[in-house]
Amino acid sequence: MKYLNNLLLKCFLHKLPPELAHNITLKLIKTGLFLNNSIDSYKNLNIKLGNIDFKHPIGLAAGFDKDGEVFHQIDKLGLSHTEIGTVTPKFQTGNKKPRVFRLNKDKAIINSLGFPSKGEKYLTNRLERYHSNIPLGINIGCNKDTINQISDYSILTRNLGKYADWITINISSPNTPGLRSLQTSDILASLLSNVNEERKKIENKRGHALQVWLKISPDLNDSELKNIIDTSLKHNIDALCISNTTISRSYELKSRNKNENGGLSGKPLTLQSTKMLAKAYLHAQNNIKFIGIGGVTNADDAYLKMLAGASILQLYTGLVFNGPYLINKIIQELNKKSNSSHITNIIGSKAYEIANGRYINE
């Protein structure tokens, strides 16, 4: 019955323009009446990343709950964690609409949202009023018209860090001009050390760690990727989130909207982001954790990302096309695949093969 409701709801929502459908979904979740998706609990899927405990590896990627509208209810969908944002310091509207396109035949989305955000004050207000029942990350970005990108990231860490288990520095959205170049410029090191100063102050005050994660683009070349990892290691970044959406269109797309501009997510991103994750895992030699994101649409994709080196996973587009029962399916299958040994045993175990394009998913 629940599955049928899920299907009917999806059919209804997919008749609407994507942004409207998304806003209705948020409203439904906000009511708290929407779906109580109970997830089987498996001890062998519990993951610990530093000071944070995750019930299982599957969480919500940034962009779904940009303004923190539903973080206090989203655990009902069965997710183990959520990342809100991207939030910017000041309110901004983002790019002109339409700016989100479904590519149904490809199980993909192209978006050129450009960080629409109600701003830090609005989010602070929500964080003061509500509490998350699962680990909470806050994904931060700079305003489009900022005169100082570094200070935008520092301010957001200073003001929002105390509410978060981790802060994710997003410098990989393709829809804010100049943002991605932060990944490869000398500015990255000072951005990270400025954020670290704010992180330290928060940690001293609250007496426990504030993790800092860095979310990167899947369009980096190998040497850019290695440089980012090395800089991240120098600055004690806890995890790299691989990846954001891609501007490449290497995969042959079949849908009507295939020529729209923006970042592509979903199935066409699975292999590109997973291969990059595997390369990053090999380079980092266990000195940093990885969050696997990009085209997790079924249990095989999820398992492959863990074999490539991800400790936990996040998804967005897969939920749009499959609904929340995707989470149950992935959890059950991961439990079976891990064969009652702990799932952490498989992390990175096929990174070499995946990085070299030699691994065929079983």
Ligand X SMILES: Cc1cc2nc3c(=O)[nH]c(=O)nc-3n(C[C@H](O)[C@H](O)[C@H](O)COP(=O)(O)O)c2cc1C
* Footprint (CB under 6 A) of ligand X, residues 143-202: 170, 173
* Footprint (CB under 6 A) of ligand X, residues 73-132: 86, 100, 109, 111, 113
Q: Tell me the two tokens of residue 304.
A: 């492959």
Which span (47-55, 195-203, 292-300, 330-338) binds ligand X, by CB under 6 A?
292-300
Nearest Cα residue to 174 out of 259, 222, 245, 87? 245
> 344 near 311, Cβ under 8 Å?
yes
Which span (62-70, 187-195, 326-334, 339-347) binds ligand X, by CB under 6 A?
62-70
Catalytic residue among 173, 243, 265, 273: 173
Q: What is the smallest separation between the CB atom of 245 and ligand X, expressed in angstroms? A: 5
Q: What is the smallest separation between the CB atom of 279 and ligand X, expressed in angstroms? A: 18
Q: What is the smallest separation between the CB atom of 207 and ligand X, expressed in angstroms? A: 29
Nearer to ligand X, 54 or 64 (CB): 64
Q: Provide the total of helices (H) and of strands (E) in the chain, helices listed first.
A: 11, 13
| Binding test (CB under 6 A) with ligand X, winner from 25, 95, 217, 265 | 265
Nearer to ligand X, 74 or 296 (CB): 296
29 binds ligand X (CB under 6 A): no
> CA distances (Å), 211 to each of 163, 164, 235, 323, in order?
12, 9, 12, 30
| Binding test (CB under 6 A) with ligand X, winner from 45, 47, 61, 142 | 61
324 binds ligand X (CB under 6 A): no
The verdict on whether 151 is a catalytic residue reads no
Q: Give the C-alpha separation, 21 to 97, whole Å.
A: 14
Which span (34-42, 191-199, 277-285, 294-302) binds ligand X, by CB under 6 A?
294-302
| Binding test (CB under 6 A) with ligand X, winner from 55, 56, 66, 76 | 66
Q: Give the C-alpha separation, 192 to 330, whole Å.
A: 34
Nearer to ligand X, 201 or 219 (CB): 219
> What number of chain residues touch ligand X (CB under 6 A)?
26
296 binds ligand X (CB under 6 A): yes
Beta pairing partners, 82: 60, 136
Beta pairing partners, 137: 83, 166
To the nearest 10°, the Cα dihedral for 244, 247, 250, 256?
110
Q: What is the smallest separation between the CB atom of 341 and ligand X, expressed in angstroms? A: 27
| Binding test (CB under 6 A) with ligand X, winner from 68, 292, 294, 348 | 294
Which span (148-156, 222-230, 298-306, 312-320) binds ligand X, by CB under 6 A?
312-320
**H helix intervals, the chain:** 2-13, 18-31, 120-129, 149-160, 187-206, 222-234, 270-284, 299-308, 317-322, 325-337, 351-355
Q: Which residues contact 63 (CB under 8 A, 6 or more apart)?
A: 85, 86, 111, 113, 139, 316
Q: Tell me the two tokens of residue 256.
A: 């009507």
Exposure pattern of 249-271 as b/e (b: 16+ CB <10 Å)?
eebebebebbebebbbbbbbbbb
Q: Tell me the two tokens of residue 84.
A: 């809100």
Point out the residues that are catalytic.
173
Binding site for ligand X (CB under 6 A): 61-63, 66, 86, 100, 109, 111, 113, 139, 170, 173, 215, 244-245, 265-266, 269, 293-296, 315-318
